Structures are given as C-alpha cells and as structure tokens.
Amino acid sequence: MSRYSSLLHFRIAEIYFLQSRYLDAENEFRESLSGNKEPKWTEVWAWVNLGKIHDVTGQRNRAINEYRQAMKTKDNTRGALDEAGKYIELPYRLN
C-alpha cells in the first residue's frame, strides 16, 4: 500500500480511536481524506469519525461541522449519513 492509501490511514485512525489517542486518530483520519479516497466510503466515514472525536473531546461546534461534511458526500455506505444525522442532533458519547 502506498502512503496515499486512504484505507491504510483510515484503519490506523480506527486503532488510535479505540485506544483513546484522539489527536493521533484525528491526524490519521485527515491523512485518509488527503489520500486516494479508495474505497470511496473512507471519505464519509472519516468525516463521521472526526465528528465523534470532536464530540468526545468537548468540541461540539467542530463536531457538527465534521458531521455536515459527511452529509455533503451523499454516501450512505453502511448507514454513514444516518449516523451523521443522528449526531448532528445529539452528541456522540462513548459507551
């Protein structure tokens, strides 16, 4: 995989998110958005996950902006837009 692989950066970001390493996760999701956007769904889910990061770190306005970016993709792969819409209404919370 190349360093421009959106999927590679996306998967690394997911690991960081699960480890509560939010800054690292945010950086990797942003790298994913700067990559080749393959597969296509990495874009919408990167935006959703960036929103989640901002919600859990107390940055609600930034979170809403990220969820809105997700909505602009019009890609509802695996319910991404449904999830973004839900978190625009109510902040994401860790279980």
Here the CATH number for the domain that contains residue 61 is: 1.25.40.10
pLDDT for 64 beyond 60 = yes
Q: Is residue 95 part of a domain?
A: no
Q: Is residue 24 part of a domain?
A: yes
pLDDT for 2 beyond 70 = no
Q: Which residues, other chains included, contact 88 with Cβ-Cβ below 8 Å and sequence gap of 6+?
A: 64, 67, 68, 71
Q: Is residue 40 part of a domain?
A: yes
Q: What is the dihedral of CA 50, 20, 93, 77, to 10 degrees?
A: 40
Q: Is residue 85 part of a domain?
A: yes
Among candidate residues 15, 32, 16, the one with its CA nearest the CA of residue 66 = 32
pLDDT at position 30 is 98
pLDDT at position 95 is 78
- As for how many domains the chain has, the answer is 1
Q: Is residue 1 part of a domain?
A: no
pTM here is 0.95
Q: What is the pLDDT averaged over residues 45-74?
A: 98
Mean pLDDT of the chain: 96
Q: Is residue 94 part of a domain?
A: no
pLDDT for 84 beyond 90 = yes
Domain that holds residue 48: 6-89
